[in-house]
Amino acid sequence: MATFVSGPVRVTVPATSANLGPGFDSLGLALSLRDTLSAEVTGEGLTVEVTGAGADDVPLDESHLVVRSMRAAFAAMDAEPSGLTLRCTNVIPHGRGLGSSSAAIVGGVTLARALVAGGQLLLDDESLFRLAADIEGHPDNVAPAFYGGFVISGREDDDWYAVPAGVDPRVGAVVYVPPTPVETRVARGLLPEVVPHADAAANSGRAALLVAALAGRPEHLLAATRDYLHQEQREPAMPESLALVHALRADGIAAVVSGAGPTVLAFTAGNDRELVARAPRGWACHALSVEAAGALVGD
């Protein structure tokens, strides 16, 4: 029978940007915006408190994504707390392509493991990542949220994999966040069932170049972030985002749609102030660094 630690446990989880242009469903990057979650095992019942992004929209019961993720991790450890109090302070925008759902999932499973005495012996990091990817259904945001940095991820046969890769310290990012969200389901629904072989070949070449560009050749980021598979196809759902991507790229700036959008990410190399000034009116803008750490337990 599992036992639980006394007192609250605190976890922080970074925002993430997936795809990064050509790395559709396979490349992800952790960014320096962090949600903070804390939880404590109590005598009975469930209490959920949320402040910040999404506070007026998310449920405050068992259907809350963090709670569902915690329950899945508890079940994997054969642990069932008598009651829970959960507090979430959200900074990552919801429905904007910056990995808010992955942060919730990774935060939830990490919290649950930390609340169980000896939890790391029951669920090691690899098992916890795989559980998070199972919950999300794909690993491209979950992997950098859990491990930090730049991660190449996917599925081989019946198992998830995640391979961290290096990022040149000169590389940063500016993200432009529009005021209205786009549902991932809607964005995915615009993708064609079949793409031309030439486009697939071009995309695979750019994805390979992107790994090298991020690792130490940032002068190639503009070419490396050219996408053939998903960005233009999603333009009807986010025309303002694609217009910004096109305008930035026309000026030689490596800009992409972040995840399923509608946030736009522009890679930087010391020109953050100039890029921040290009934010459209009414959009939020953040100059960020690549976050080397993923989910962190403690203060």
What are the binding residues for ATP? 93-103
237 in Cβ contact with 190 (< 8 Å): yes
153 in Cβ contact with 165 (< 8 Å): no
Binding site residues, as ranges?
A: 93-103
Which residues neighbour 29 within 8 Å (Cβ) at sequence distance 6 or greater? 16, 17, 18, 20, 144, 149, 150, 151, 167, 173, 214, 290
238 in Cβ contact with 33 (< 8 Å): no
Which residues neighbour 194 within 8 Å (Cβ) at sequence distance 6 or greater? none
Torsion of CA 205, 207, 212, 215, to 10 degrees: 180
254 in Cβ contact with 267 (< 8 Å): yes
Separation CA 5–CA 115 (nearest Å): 5
Q: How many Å separate Cα 258 from the centre of its chain? A: 9
Rounded to 5 degrees, what are φ and ψ at 109? -70, -35
Strand partners, 35: 13
- Of the candidates 187, 224, 189, the one whose C-alpha atom is nearest the C-alpha of residue 203 is 224
17 in Cβ contact with 97 (< 8 Å): yes
Rounded to 5 degrees, what are φ and ψ at 238? -150, 60
Separation CA 56–CA 208 (nearest Å): 41
